[in-house]
Structure 1
Amino acid sequence: MRHANDPGTLDLITGKRLIGYARVSTDDQDLSQQRAELHAAGCTRIFAEKVSGTHSKRPELARMLDHLRPGDVVTVTRLDRLARNTRDLLDIAEQLQAKGAGLRSLAEPWADTTSPAGRMVLTVFAGIAEFERSLIVERTRNGREAAMKRGVRFGRRPTLTPAQIAHARRLIDAEGRTAKEVASLLGVHRATLYRALAKQACL
């Protein structure tokens, strides 16, 4: 096992320090294949972890990002080992760029930010991701406006209807029931009943 302060190996052609990152989704999966490919690519400092790509907290990824120095090249066997989706990939690429580090995928040669072509591809991806995001926002807004024109009301539905609130007040004021009893009868929490009664009193 390599020590945490292992500086990594410099690529003989580029002179850059190669840092590997490997990930599998579950504990019963094996990291050995990714490790072997990364070692063969020249990485002797490898950060590896067993965590689902959908999990927002990836401790070894965070450690790797903290470990990076300008000129380092983060190497992965495939991009889906590093990022959850296109947006996540672009966010990580931006973090690497801010540290002066590059990104390279063994399975996707076009994803090499140390080359002008690779940087251009990711720039195009960033534009597409932003375009998709703006389309989603526009469609959501248009759908909401159309629904409102049809009379659809948004927001949380009141837990108690006006008729239930009026009934609850009669039970409390006229019959002397406790708020706890009435709330239980209506199937809501006592605090919910208090809020409903207070809101109605303010109307």
Structure 2
Amino acid sequence: MKVIGYARVSTAGQALESQLERLSVAECSEIFEEKVSGAQSERPELVKAIDQLSEGDVLIVTRLDRLARSTRDLLRIVDVLEAKGAQLKSLSEAWADTTTPTGKLILTVLGGLAEFERSLIVERTSEGREIAKREGRRLGRPPKLTKHQRSFVLKWRAAGQNNAQIARKLGVSRSTVSRIK
């Protein structure tokens, strides 16, 4: 079993020393460190740390905000770790420890809450679309061409011009013109 540490700070002006010290005390065999914003999806050292993990290994962080930028991101990372048979442990948040049954339970509950929140968002969005349709509001991007321009498209097409010629006249793409019926 390997214990791998991950430390991250957001800016070059911040220091990693306190995290590195705590991870050393936690007896990490290897520590991956980086200075990159948590909002960035590209965190190469985190990817390397996770790549090092295998069945029974543990990834340790000093705090969850050093690992994930949101609950959804945290749950995604935990899923990746679980797929490898590895576990997660936070030194500051005792509840975030998948090496214990309680930690697994709490992260499962968080996962259920996140899934519930996603389904509510989908439901509200769908409901809003239905209301907008009933009220006759147009959904999606606004049309590139006005009604007046669309009538010209039909006239020019009837006069024998092709879609490419019409599109050049109107300054739009050929596919925009081809969708006019």
Query: TM-score when scaled to structure 2?
Result: 0.85
Partners of 1:181 and 1:103 lie apart in 2 by 58
Q: Secondary structure at the match of 2:132?
A: helix
- 2:49 aligned residue: 64
1:162 matched to 2:135? no
Larger relative contact order (C-alpha < 8 A, sep ≥ 6)? 2
Identity %: 52
**Contact in 1 for aligned 2:166/2:177 (Cα 8 Å):** no
Amino acid at match of 1:63: K
Cα 1:112–1:161 shift into 2, 3 Å: same
**Structure possessing the higher radius of gyration over alpha carbons:** 1
Aligned mates of 2:60, 2:80 — CA distance in 1:
15
Q: How many residues align?
A: 175
Asked if the contact 1:47–1:60 (Cα under 8 Å) also holds between the matched residues in 2, the reply is yes
Q: Does structure 2 conserve the Cα–Cα contact (< 8 Å) formed by 1:168 and 1:182?
A: no
- Once the two structures are TM-superposed, the CA of residue 129 in structure 1 deviates from its matched residue by 0.8
Does 2:16 match 1:35?
Answer: no
Deviation at 1:101, TM superposition (A): 1.3
Q: Is the 8 A contact 1:113 1:119 kept in 2?
A: yes
Tell whether 2:30 aligns with 1:45. yes
Cα gap change, 1:149 to 1:165, in 2 (>3 Å): closer
Give the whole-Å Cα distance in 2 for the aligned partners of 1:58 and 1:80. Answer: 14
Deviation (angstroms), 1:162? 2.3
CA distance in 1, matches of 2:152, 2:85: 67
CA offset at residue 98 of structure 1?
1.7
Change in 2 beyond 3 A, CA 1:32/1:20: same
Q: Distance in 2 between matches of 1:122 and 1:40?
A: 25
Q: Within 5 Å, which residues of 2 pair with 1:179-194?
A: 182-183=169-170, 188-189=171-172, 191=173, 194=174
1:20 aligns with 2:11: no
Name the structure 2 match of 1:93. 78
Structure 1, unmatched stretches of 5+, are: 1-15
8 A contact 1:18–1:72 mirrored in 2 = yes
Q: Say whether 1:120 aligns with 2:90.
A: no
The answer on whether the counterparts of 2:39 and 2:69 sit within 8 Å (CA) in structure 1 is: yes
1:195 CA drift (Å): 4.1
Unaligned runs of 5+ in 2: 160-164
Label 1:182 to 1:22 Cα distance change in 2 as closer, same or farther (>3 A): same
2:45 and 2:23 map into 1 onto residues whose CA distance is 16
Distance 1:44 1:32 in 2: 17
Residue 88 of structure 2 is matched in structure 1 by 103
